[in-house]
Every structure is written in structure tokens, then in C-alpha cells.
Amino acid sequence: MAIFKTGHFDQVGLKSAGKAKVLKDGRHEPIGFPRLLTAASVPDLAVHLEPPPLDLAQSDKKWAVYLRKIKLLRNFEGFIADFLKPTNQLYFISIAWDYSGQPPFVYPPQKINPASVLIKMKPGNTRDFMGDGVGLWVPRKVIGALNVILLIYENDENIRKTGELLVDIRDTVRSSQLASLIVAISVNPALATGVAIGAAVNELMGVIGSIMKKNQDDYVDMFEGTWGTDKKQNPAILKYKNEGSQIEIEFRTS
């Protein structure tokens, strides 16, 4: 379960291309229908009328998401652990997708030195990422919704093992039910339900958790964000604080 959360998986933006039909005096009559709506609202509307053809809505601007900061709080592992291991090695994995049919974007990318993703930090210190920050989703127009999952772990193995783990994660995402569902929704928006997406995400997180457990890496925090294209999204700096860590994420439009 995500500790930090923005939005919900059922906030997939849809657009209508005509009028709905409502049964009146034994015949169907056209009636006004929202031009933009979420996938979550369609079942409730369909109880009373026949919706017009629906398609996935596209964002009016390019969207991007960056990780700006990570901070380890002083109670991250407790006083004794800090004394025995004054420096912690953190790394993070992110999975981001919309419903254009393209595969999820996974960070770290495939061609990267595993040593470069490890962040050495002492409790109480903050890691500020240079420039815009780490790009969890590069600027582009979004179809349906932008979803980002960020997993933060403490590394307890050597660098070579970390490299193998990252390859396993990328392969797992590529072959997951979530990857298949993303393609299916791009073709048939009616499949975009929060229940189906949530189930696919939970299945993927379970497999990733098993990989991490095998590698003996400790889970620190998880962020889950969704921005639907059913409405205008405004730039924002999102700050989240847990018992042991704090993160800062930027949502940007251009």
C-alpha cells in the first residue's frame, strides 16, 4: 500500500463524441452528455442512459514528473543502527505510464551504471537532485491519465547484485498484467476501471516485493500518483513526510 498518494486509478480521462440516448415514452431520445469525464463515472451514468462512443482524452499540455529531493529523518533506523551503520545506501525505482499503448517507463533506464543509482546518505541529510531533478516521466502529452509509482529501498547487497535486480524489475514490468492492460485500454477505453488497474498494479507490486525480499533489500517508502486528463492539471510541488523519510515531487506542465 502506498504511504504517499495523489489521485486514484479510476481517474482515467474520457471524451464523448456525441449525445447520449435516454429511453422516454418507449423510444430512445438524444440527450446532452459531458464532453469530458472519468472512467469511474461511466457505470453510474449508464444506469440511466446509453452513453455515446467514448475515447481516451488527451492532455492539453505536455506533462512531466520529477523527483526533486529525498531526506532521511534521524529516526530512520534508530540510534543503535545509526551508530553501527552511519551511512545508508538508498536507491529508487519508478514505473510510469499513460494509456497511449506504449510500454511503462521504468527508472533507472536499462543502460545505466548500477553504482550511479545508489545514494549514500546519513540520517538527517537531504539529497537534492540537480537541475529539474530525476525525470520519472519526461515531458509529453498524456493519454487518459498519467500514473507514477515510486519505490524507495535501502540497499543491503553489492553493486553487481543491484544491477541484476534492476534487470529483473524491468523484465517483470515488461511482462506484467499491467503492461498488457495498458495496451488493452488504449484500444478499448471501456476496460479502464479502477478495480482492474488496481488489481494489475497490486499483482506487479507483489512480484517486485518478492524480488526485493530475495535480494534482502529493505523497503523504505512508496509514492503512488495519478493525474487524469478529464480536467486541467496545474503545476505543483508535492511534499510527503513519513516516520523515516521525506520526499519532494514536482508535477509540471509545458
Domain residues of the chain, as ranges? Answer: 58-253
CATH architecture of 58-253: Sandwich (2.60)
On whether the CB atoms of residues 249 and 66 are closer than 8 A, the answer is: yes
Q: Point out the residues of the chain with pLDDT beneath 70.
A: 1-2, 19-33, 44-48, 50, 75-86, 157-159, 216
**pTM of the shown model:** 0.88
pLDDT of residue 133: 95
Among candidate residues 43, 39, 41, 32, the one with its CA nearest the CA of residue 55: 39
Interval 193-214: pLDDT, tens: 889 999 999 999 999 988 887 7
Distance, in Å, from the CA atom of 205 to the CA atom of 213, rounded to the nearest integer, reads 12
Helices marked H in the chain — which ranges?
42-46, 79-84, 114-117, 159-174, 177-187, 194-215
On whether the CB atoms of residues 231 and 208 are closer than 8 A, the answer is: no
CA-CA-CA-CA torsion for 184, 185, 189, 190, nearest 10 degrees? Answer: 70
Amino acid letter, 128 = D
